Copies of this chain bind each other. A is one copy, B any other.
């Protein structure tokens, strides 16, 4: 289905042994997937830092819904930025605290700015950006 290219890599036996231990612990079934994932992770960081193109990801936040005005401010911020936000999912963790996740897509710059604005809202305990890539 997917096309793959086969490349040969020279690696020190000792490093390979350590890497094989590592990927076994992480429950990889083969080295190719493990090597590809590490390479991808590296490139995603680069892609987000350079800020070019369109990326996807999520913004996860926790807050106390009773903390003055937090719900209204989050709603307003999300409406203003609705073009960046696919959807929002909320779980009520106890009487006070909830966790909300926005699935986002857009330029790295715009998404980082949105995450900063979420964090700056009074009542938001913590906001965390997860950086992914489309391909």
Contact with B along A110-128 (1 / 0, CB 8 A): 0000001101101001101
A95 CB, nearest partner CB in chain B, Å: 12
Contact A5 B11 (CB under 8 A): yes
Give bound CA distance, A65 to B39, whole Å: 22
Copies per assembly? 4
Asked whether any CB of chain B lies closer than 8 Å to the CB of A57, the reply is yes
A40 close to B62 (CB less than 8 A): no
Interface of A is mostly: mixed
Nearest 8 CB-CB pairings of A with B: A128-B130, A60-B130, A10-B32, A4-B10, A58-B60, A86-B91, A89-B89, A130-B130
A interface residues, Cβ below 8 angstroms from B: 1-16, 18-19, 22-23, 26-29, 31-44, 46, 49, 56-58, 60-62, 64, 66-68, 86-87, 89, 91, 93-94, 97, 99, 101, 103, 105, 116-117, 119-120, 122, 125-126, 128-135
Can you give 28 A-B contacts (C-beta < 8 A)?
A: A3-B13, A5-B11, A6-B9, A7-B8, A7-B31, A8-B9, A9-B32, A11-B32, A15-B43, A18-B43, A26-B116, A26-B117, A27-B117, A27-B120, A29-B120, A33-B120, A33-B122, A38-B38, A40-B125, A41-B126, A56-B62, A58-B99, A60-B132, A93-B105, A94-B134, A99-B132, A101-B103, A126-B133
